[in-house]
Amino acid sequence: MTSIGILGTGRVGSGLARALATAGHQITLGHRQPSQVTAADETGTTVPAIRHADQRNTTATAEVVINATPGDTALERLSALHTELAGKILIDVSNATRHTADGLPSDLCYPGGSLAEQLQRALPATRVVKTLNTMLFPVMTAPADLSTAPTAYLSGDDADAKAITSDLLAGLGWKPEWIEDLGDITTARATEALVLLVPHVLRRHGLRPFAVSLAR
């Protein structure tokens, strides 16, 4: 069992929280405002194993932190938690993009780089791993539901951090042969750029689960 803090309570963060709690991990879901924590606890609709807290407390009490916050504001948000993140693994599943009027990605916030690289630079005492950012959110926790095998790419400077991340992915149903270690954190700029495919796919096919994967 791993103590995991998830920052971000939208579809991505909540979905990962439920799936990882079901896999037996100790999960804290981090909310931006204390009032949101109280409201979440009062609903009684979440998995009992999920604890709710503000983002600073969530980060401070976790061994592994998952960033599922909006990518365009994540750098500022996580930089403010540098003390709490020191010595920990930060799994970044977000994409930093600007959006069109219909809310879909249009341009990268860090062209020629990546959010993951920015986070690693701002958080030198934290081990950043990029993954799960090349698929529609339902695939993150149910990869076997696709008709063809998906790929989860890994980018990061620390081999142990990537091994721990791979173990967590296995608990979500990702087979070893579906996980592709691309190398150091600079390789995240390639997978983050793939988000620019997403609006074109969604406009043609709607919210049907898909992943940008390797075919061999």
Distance (Å, whole) CA 175 – CA 32: 33
Give the relative orientation of helices 115-122 and 71-79 as an angle to the nearest 10 degrees.
Answer: 10
Tokens of 149: 């095998």
Quick: pLDDT tens for 82-105: 999 999 999 999 999 998 787 788
pTM exceeds 0.85:
yes
Distance (Å, whole) CA 163 – CA 21: 20
Distance (Å, whole) CA 118 – CA 121: 5
Distance (Å, whole) CA 191 – CA 174: 18
* pLDDT tens series, the chain, 216 aa: 799 999 999 999 999 999 999 999 999 999 987 666 655 554 444 455 899 999 999 999 999 999 999 999 999 999 999 999 999 999 999 999 998 787 788 899 999 999 999 999 999 999 999 999 999 999 999 999 999 999 999 999 999 999 999 999 999 999 999 999 999 999 999 999 999 998 889 889 988 999 999 998
